[in-house]
Chain A
Amino acid sequence: MSWQVKTMAERTGDLLPGSPWTAVLYVLLTILAVTAFVTLCGLVLIYAERKVSAHFQCRLGPMRVGWHGLLQTIADTIKLLLKEDIVPRDADALLHILAPVLSFAGMLLVMIALPMSPSIQVADMNIGVLYVTAVSGLGVLGILLGGWSSNNKWSLLGAMRAGAQIISYEVSATLALLVVVLFAGTLQLSGIVQSQETGWWIWRAHGCGIVAFSIFMIAGTAEINRTPFDLAEGESELTAGFHTEYSGLRFSFFFLSEFLNMFVLAAMASTLFLGGWMPLHVGHFTVFNGIMDLLPPGLWFTLKTSAVIFLIMWFRWTFPRLRVDQLMRLEWKILLPIGFVNLFVSAACVVTGFYFFAG
Chain B
Amino acid sequence: MSDESIAAPEVLPPPEKHVGTGGAVTGAVPWIDKSGAIGGVFKGIRSLFSGMKVTVGYLMRPSTVITQQYPENRETLKLPDRFRAQLAFNHDDNGYHKCTMCRICEEACPNVSIIITGREKPAVSKKEIDSFVWRLDSCTFCNTCVIVCPFGVLRFDGTFESSVYDRRLLAYTLNDYAGPVASVLEKIEDPEARKAAMEKRDPYGAHTIIEALAERQRAKKAATHAAYAAAKAARIAKKEAAKAAAEAPAAEPAAEAKDVG
Contact = CB atoms under 8 A, between A and B. Distances in A.
Contact of A59 (B52, B54, B67): B67
B237 interface: no
Nearest to B49: A318
Interface stretch (B55-63, B81-89, B138-146): B55-63
Contacts of A315: 52
Given A63-B69, A334-B41, A58 B64 contact: yes
Contacts of B67: 58-60
Contacts of B254: none
Contacts of B110: none
Nearest to A214: B45
Contact of B58 (A55, A319, A334): A55
Main SS at interface, chain B? helix
A308 B238 CA distance: 97
B56 to A, nearest CB: 7
B32 interface: no
A58 B41 contact: no
Nearest to B68: A60
Contacts, number: 36
B55 A314 contact: yes
Interface residues of A, number: 15
Interface string A49-68: 00010011111100100000
Given A55-B62, A314-B56, A318-B52, A60 B69 contact: yes
B49 to A, nearest CB: 10
A102 to B, nearest CB: 33
B39 interface: no
Interface in B21-59: 41, 48, 51-52, 54-56, 58-59
A251 interface: no
Nearest to A314: B52
A55 B60 CA distance: 8
Interface of B: 41, 48, 51-52, 54-56, 58-59, 62, 64-67, 69
Interface of A: 52, 55-60, 63, 314-315, 317-319, 334, 338
Smallest CB-CB A-B distances: 4 pairs: A318-B55, A60-B67, A55-B59, A56-B55
